[in-house]
Structure 1
Amino acid sequence: MMFDLTGKVAVVTGGSRGIGRSICEQMAAHGAKVVVSSRKLPACEEVVKGIKAKGGEATAVAASISDKAQLENLVAAARKAYGRIDIMVCNAASNPYFGPLTGLKEEVFAKIMQNNVMSNLWLMNMVGPEMAERKDGVFIVVSSIGALIGSAHIAAYNMSKAADLSLVKSLAMEWGKHNIRVNAIAPGLIQTDFAKALWDNPDIRRANESKAALKRIGQPDDIGGVAVFLASKAGNFVCGQCIIADGGVIGSGAE
């Protein structure tokens, strides 16, 4: 029963594919009512269809994390559908640039920081008050092990994910007194469409597999289970933390 989410309502951004889809499916499988959100409604509806086919409950709401008004609509739609929000998962992120920092345009960097960091703060401020009123809530940010290491390819993205870790710690200090648990998950290389530029590169994939203690890259469900843990009673005393789920890359000692 420690992982039972029955009666809880979870909102997941970037929920139509990859890690976000797994989080939606796993939370629904553990009893939560799930609001699946991403930019494209048909993709969200496809996930909802799959959840309902397995006896779960879910609804789809399109929203872009770059647009505050759309996120406000997402929160309002979730409350209209299910009456409350118990779990907010900020999984959506953008990485429009792959290459060295010398070629990074200022407007692109600004977009990365707004989408990957500011949107999370927006959502916390939107859902926090109702969670505080109930003295119960969960807020999860999907960061990355990129926050903890350097990169010659996705440094700007990594910087945004490092900022997310700092944001989580500060939000935990602000909202923890209301029994709102704020945490981050830092996945390693996961086989998703979002990370295709990395795992589809034989050299990068081989290097990641070599460094990992488990000698493989991750799959979306490797992260979905971590999210269920953080959202459930099993994670009741975890707050302000970052759970690294990378197959043993960080701390493996591999060169």
Structure 2
Amino acid sequence: MGKIGFAIAKKLASEGASVVVSSRKEQNVENAVNNLKKLGFENVLGTVCHVSKKEDRSKLFNKAIEVFGHIDILISNAAVNPVFGLTEECTDTAWDKIFEVNVKCPFMLTKEVLPYIRKSDRGTIIYISSIAGLQPFSFLGPYSISKTALLGLTKVFAGELATNNITVNCVAPGIIKTRFSKSLYESEVAYETILSRIPLNRIGEPDDVSGVVAFLCSADARYITGETIVVSGGMQSRL
């Protein structure tokens, strides 16, 4: 799993949540679970889950129910971006892959978790989008569009699930230090260019995102739904 996903799992575990982590790679799952347990978190388990595969999604939810008995929170964090360049040059295959993982899978995860999360006293669903969904990144057009779609998914499900006392929100990170965004800041020129756009004058850390997610999962956020919170150090995103 990625650095943001691990930071979220660690933060929620530190606040008393039982956590199920997943990744399409078994080694990533094992590393995440082992590292969390080394930090003293015992109510943690992991399973391989390729979010594009229905059987893997079912296994994820079934394992959570089998071990912990209930599901109160869903965090949808998986994303891909196989292309870099002008949007008009994006192939059908790349476009389909981006929207399969970045948009359809969050929808399917939500749809399939609802029978479980509706049984919770207060359910929480959170999508990890990107500031690119509000202010598209140059040469990352298809990825940016897919992240914009998550803002709409948030609004629609927030309205439809409110009667079930389920809140649905979205977190839109800016430039965070992860492998995924490394190309945006790895060279000195790119680094200085990025810093010039961030009023807080630093690139974000995964823990900057996890704290916001934990807040949205807490009782303090029980009256917040349908919102997108930008975590970007002040990078321009909207009025």
Task: Identify whether the pair has TM-score above 0.5, normalized to the shorter chain.
Answer: yes
Change over 3 Å in CA distance of 1:101–1:202 after alignment to 2: farther
| Corresponding letter in the other structure for 2:33 | V
Change over 3 Å in CA distance of 1:252–1:111 after alignment to 2: closer
Whether 1:126 aligns to 2:101 is no
Question: Which residue number corresponds to residue 76 of structure 1?
Answer: 62
Match of 1:111 among 64, 88, 97: 97
> CA–CA distance in 1 between the matches of 2:40 and 2:200?
34
Q: Provide structure 2 residue ranges, at least 5 long, that are not aligned to the other structure.
A: none
Whether 1:141 aligns to 2:127 is yes
> CA–CA distance in 2 between the matches of 1:201 and 1:158?
22
Contact 1:65 1:115 (C-alpha < 8 Å) held by counterparts:
yes
Provide TM-score, normalisation by structure 2. Answer: 0.95
Q: How many residues align?
A: 238
Contact 2:125 2:169 (C-alpha < 8 Å) held by counterparts:
yes
Change over 3 Å in CA distance of 1:64–1:251 after alignment to 2: closer
- CA deviation string 1:157-181 (max 9, x = no partner): 0000000010010010111111101
Contact 2:8 2:207 (C-alpha < 8 Å) held by counterparts:
yes
Provide TM-score, normalisation by structure 1. Answer: 0.89
Give 4+ residue runs of structure 1 displaced > 4 Å after superposition.
none
Q: Using the TM superposition, give the Cα deviation of residue 252 of structure 1 relative to its aligned residue in structure 2, in angstroms.
A: 9.3
> CA–CA distance in 2 between the matches of 1:86 and 1:131?
5
Contact 1:140 1:184 (C-alpha < 8 Å) held by counterparts:
yes
- Structure 1 vs Structure 2: percent identity of aligned residues? 35
> CA–CA distance in 1 between the matches of 2:158 and 2:164?
10
Contact 2:175 2:204 (C-alpha < 8 Å) held by counterparts:
yes
What is the root-mean-square deviation in Å for CA atoms of aligned residues? 1.6
Match of 1:159 among 124, 136, 145: 145
> CA–CA distance in 1 between the matches of 2:174 and 2:30?
28
> CA–CA distance in 1 between the matches of 2:212 and 2:45?
22
- CA deviation string 1:115-166 (max 9, x = no partner): 0011011111111222223342110000000001133221110000000010
SS at match of 2:118: helix
Question: Which residue number corresponds to residue 38 of structure 1?
Answer: 23
> CA–CA distance in 1 between the matches of 2:137 and 2:116?
39
Question: Which residue number corresponds to residue 202 of structure 1?
Answer: 188
Q: Using the TM superposition, give the Cα deviation of residue 49 of structure 1 relative to its aligned residue in structure 2, in angstroms.
A: 1.4
Contact 1:41 1:60 (C-alpha < 8 Å) held by counterparts:
no
Q: Provide structure 1 residue ranges, at least 5 long, that are not aligned to the other structure.
A: 1-15
